[in-house]
Structure 1
C-alpha cells in the first residue's frame, strides 16, 4: 500500500511540476514538495509543502469523506496553528484486493481509487493516543488541486 500511494503521489507531482524530496529520518513527514514559479512571492520564488501520506481500503469510505487514523504526535504536528511550512494529509482510498489497484489498456493506466487532501492547521491538538481524520471527498488530490495549493502557498496563503 505504501509503494502504491507513493506512486500515485509521484504521478500527481510530475504532472503538477513539483519536486519531491523524502526526509531520511521519519518525523511525521513522508515527503517535502517544492514548486518554483515566478508568481510565488517568496524571494527564492519557491512554495514548500510537507505531506503525510495515509492509505486506506474502501472499507473506510463513506459517501462524503475518507477516514484515516493518525498517531497523536503526527496529528498534533499537522494541526498546529500558523506553521512555518504548510502541511497537508493525503489519504488514498484504494481497493482491498491488490489485483484491483490498477487497470491498463493501450490508452490508459487507471489507478483505483482516489486520493483526497486536508489541511489540519489550527484544528487543535488531541490528547488521545490516535485520532481519526475525516478527509472530505470533495477535496480530490490531483495535479490541478496540487497546482492550486502551491499557488496559494506561493502567494503567502494556506493550502
Structure 2
C-alpha cells in the first residue's frame, strides 16, 4: 500500500513550522516536472541536461550517446507543471506564454523541441506516494510538438492555449521511440 507524504508537508498556504516557508508553489512544480523528466529518461539510458538560463524557451535537453540509424539524437524540452486541468475525452488545454509558443513552433532549431506538461494533484502532498515496493509520481506527463503549429492570429497577445492529445502520454517506451525517430533524422 502506498503512503502519501501528507503528514510531512503543510497544506498549501499553511506555515510549515520550519525557518522560512520553503519553495513557492511554482518552484515546487518546476522541480517536480524536472524530477518527472529524469524519472522517464533514466530507465531509457538518456541524459538530461538542465538549461542554466531559460532564455530560449528550453528547460532541458535529452540526449544519448547511443547511435540510432544516423546519429546520436538530442531533444529540447520545455517543461510545464499544473494542478489546474480538465481532461476531456481526447485532449486537454494548457495556456502557454507567447514567447514559449513561438520558441517551440519554429522549424529552424538545431534540435527538435517538445512541450511536456506534467499534471499533478492540487495538494503537493499527493504528488508522491511511497511503499517498500514502489515510489509513485502522481499523476502523469503528456508531450506535444508545436513544430508545425500556425502562427498566432494576434501576434501581440501575451499567451495562447494549446490542446494536448491524451494519447501522447510521455512514458519510457514512447520516449525511446521518439529519440529513435529523431536519431533517424525525423521529428518527435
Indicate if the aligned counterparts of 1:116 and 1:137 stay in contact, CA closer than 8 A. yes
Aligned to 1:21: 49
Query: SS in structure 2 opposite 1:36?
Result: coil
Q: Say yes or no: does 1:95 pair with 2:124.
A: no
Distance 2:63 2:42 in 1: 12
Determine the C-alpha separation between the residues in 2 that align with 1:65 and 1:104.
Answer: 29
1:158 matched to 2:184? The reply is no
C-alpha displacement of 1:120: 0.6
Greater radius of gyration (CA):
2
TM-score by length of 1: 0.91
Number of the residue aligned with 1:109: 135
8 Å contact kept, 2:119–2:139 = yes
Q: Does 1:131 align with 2:150?
A: no
For 1:154 and 1:51, locate their aligned partners in 2 and report how far apart those are by CA, in whole Å: 16
Question: 1:83, 1:114 → 2: CA distance?
Answer: 27
- Divergent runs of 4+, >4 A: none
Contact preservation (8 Å) 2:49, 2:61: yes
State how far apart, in whole Å, the 2-side matches of 1:40 and 1:32 are.
Answer: 20
Unpaired segments ≥5 residues, structure 1: none
Q: Which has the higher strand share?
A: 1
Q: Summarize deviations over 1:59-85 as a string: whole Å, max 9, x none.
A: 443332232221111101111235431
CA distance in 1, matches of 2:82, 2:89: 15
Give the TM-score, by structure 2 length.
0.78
Change (3 A) 1:124 1:91: same
Structure 2: where are the runs of 5+ without partners? 1-28
- The aligned counterpart of 1:33 is 62
